[in-house]
A and B are shown apart, each in its own frame.
Chain A
């Protein structure tokens, strides 16, 4: 499947002026002028999006999203439901990194990994932080190192609390 974005102002994310973008399946195939007649002679289906009066930037990356919902630090009633696919894409997010928070008891890393795989199946690019607020970090396998080595989706250990519940970091 070919998809051609025409007449838009490219931000790659640096502003590059008006540049067409040609997509083939899931990758960027060409940036720059595309001969529509040449495309026609290929006898393959293609779609064109007119991006007049629009900017064309990359999809956004959300590096910290509670994909199983928020822990609800104040009370159990404040635990929030998981974000839905449509909420995520409506915000322009195409890559998302799931994380746990203070709650690593009711919300678990295998549960988070399942959610990551589900959203990948629905079309997003998804990753996750292993661990949670607690130290030593909760992990899927025996250690953060093993999680990073053997689980492709794991990009590091995240939302580990440093000193207070409002001071967290990811590595």
Chain B
């Protein structure tokens, strides 16, 4: 969005109020009294996500998720998966 110069007020309804309206989710997609407390706090300029609140619960704080998948609570697994197109990753040449 930032790269292509689209404004926030143009793009936001496409992923909030319009979507809620089509799906008939009356308490979603709009920040008004009585609606569900699903709120983002994003940095002006970069639009980097700083905080995420879902139904009043803090999910992301200072850019990092503060919730963990429940199945990990009693797990010794360590999963490290990074796609070739992950930002900052140099793609591996096929057949090299």
Q: How far is the CA of A49 from the CA of B59 in the complex (A)?
A: 13
Q: Which of B9, B17, B50 contacts A58 (CB 8 A)?
A: B17
Q: Which residues of A are found within 8 Å of B50, using beta-carbon distances?
A: 54
Q: Which of B19, B30, B42 contacts A63 (CB 8 A)?
A: B19
Give the number of A-B contacts (CB < 8 Å): 183
Task: Please tell me if B90 contacts chain A, counting CB pairs below 8 Å.
Answer: no
A/B interface sample: 27 pairs, CB < 8 A: A3-B53, A12-B31, A13-B17, A13-B29, A27-B27, A28-B34, A49-B41, A51-B41, A54-B41, A55-B44, A55-B47, A58-B16, A58-B29, A58-B39, A59-B38, A61-B16, A81-B81, A85-B68, A89-B52, A92-B40, A92-B49, A94-B40, A94-B55, A95-B20, A123-B55, A125-B54, A127-B23
Q: Which residues of A are found within 8 Å of B24, using beta-carbon distances?
A: 155
Q: Which of A1, A55, A85, A122 contacts B56 (CB 8 A)?
A: A1
Task: Please tell me if A97 contacts chain B, counting CB pairs below 8 Å.
Answer: yes
If over half of B's interface residues share one DSSP class (helix, strand or loop), that class is named, otherwise mixed; here it is mixed
Q: How far is the CA of A135 from the CA of B83 in the complex (A)?
A: 33
Are B35 and A28 interface neighbours, CB within 8 A? yes
Q: Which residues of B are found within 8 Å of A23, using beta-carbon distances?
A: 37, 39, 53, 56
Q: How far is the CA of A10 from the CA of B8 in the complex (A)?
A: 11
Q: How far is the CA of A62 from the CA of B32 in the complex (A)?
A: 20
Q: A49-B51, A59-B40, A60-B40 are in contact. Are A123 and B28 (CB under 8 A)?
A: no
CB of A155, distance to nearest CB on chain B (Å):
5
Q: A86-B68, A97-B23 are in contact. List 13 more A-B contacts (CB 8 A).
A: A15-B9, A54-B43, A57-B12, A57-B40, A58-B17, A59-B53, A61-B20, A85-B67, A86-B67, A89-B65, A94-B52, A123-B54, A155-B23
Are B40 and A5 interface neighbours, CB within 8 A? no
Q: Which of B23, B40, B43 gathers most chain A CB within 10 Å? A: B40
Count B-side interface residues using an 8 Å CB cutoff. Answer: 50
Are A61 and B23 interface neighbours, CB within 8 A? yes
* Chain A residues proximal to chain B, CB less than 8 Å: 1, 3, 5, 8-15, 21, 23-31, 49, 51, 53-63, 81, 84-86, 89-92, 94-95, 97, 118, 121-125, 127, 155
Q: A13-B16, A58-B40, A121-B70 are in contact. Are A26 and B52 (CB under 8 A)?
A: no
If over half of A's interface residues share one DSSP class (helix, strand or loop), that class is named, otherwise mixed; here it is strand
* Chain B residues proximal to chain A, CB less than 8 Å: 8-9, 12-13, 15-17, 19-20, 22-25, 27-44, 47, 49-60, 65, 67-70, 81
Q: A5-B41, A13-B16, A125-B36 are in contact. Are A58 and B56 (CB under 8 A)?
A: no
